[in-house]
Amino acid sequence: MSEKTPARILVLNGPNLNLLGTREPEVYGHETLADVEELCRTAAAGAGYEVEFLQSNHEGVLLDAIHAARGQVAGIVFNPGAFTHTSVALADAISGVQLPVVEVHISNVHRREAFRHHSYISPVAASIIVGAGVNGYVLGIQQLIHLAGK
């Protein structure tokens, strides 16, 4: 018999996302990371899910969080920030824990510089949401809940 999926979702944010609200608002909008956390908690609570919310500017902290999530959460909504375009280690961690990950980018990375068009995370992500602003996190949570119900 399969084990019950935990009713908990990890929302993970990478480097510079602590600056949301003041960082390039023409690209990332005016909402702060605290606003994003509130949006995520509300979206998850409606379906009976709790949210664990973490932001770090350090790749190793993000790696440890992904490892620790194994068996503890239904999946991860992950905005890896610039590590998206550089980190084989984060991609390997996602493959290693075998949790569904929804990759989220606030901006439409494909309309931006060429170096943002490649993602090491996309090949190991269950789903990808780009250019939906901070609503992308809500869509990511809805998608993970949908996947957990399958």
Please provide residue 18's backbone torsions phi and psi, each rounded to the nearest 5 degrees.
-65, -20
13 in contact with ligand DQA (CB under 6 A): no
Residue identified by tokens 């018999």 is: 1
Residue identified by tokens 């996302």 is: 17
Stretch that binds ligand DQA, among 32-40, 56-64, 69-77, 101-109 (CB under 6 A): 101-109
18, 97, 116, 148: which one contacts ligand DQA (CB under 6 A)?
Answer: 116
Distance (Å, whole) CA 75 – CA 66 = 10
The tally of CA atoms less than 13 A away on the side-chain side of residue 101 is: 29
The tally of CA atoms less than 13 A away on the side-chain side of residue 82 is: 6
Shortest distance, position 40 Cβ to ligand DQA, whole Å: 14
Distance (Å, whole) CA 90 – CA 68 = 13
Active-site choice (49, 105, 120, 137): 105
Q: Are 94 and 125 in contact (CB under 8 A)?
A: yes
81, 102, 121, 127: which one contacts ligand DQA (CB under 6 A)?
Answer: 81
Residue whose CB is less far from ligand DQA, 101 or 109: 109
Contacts (CB under 6 A) with ligand DQA, residues 41-80: 79
User: Annotated catalytic, 58?
Assistant: no
Residue whose CB is less far from ligand DQA, 49 or 83: 83
> Which parts of this chain interact with ligand DQA (CB under 6 A)?
16, 79, 81-82, 84, 105-107, 109, 116
Which residues have a catalytic role annotated?
Answer: 28, 105
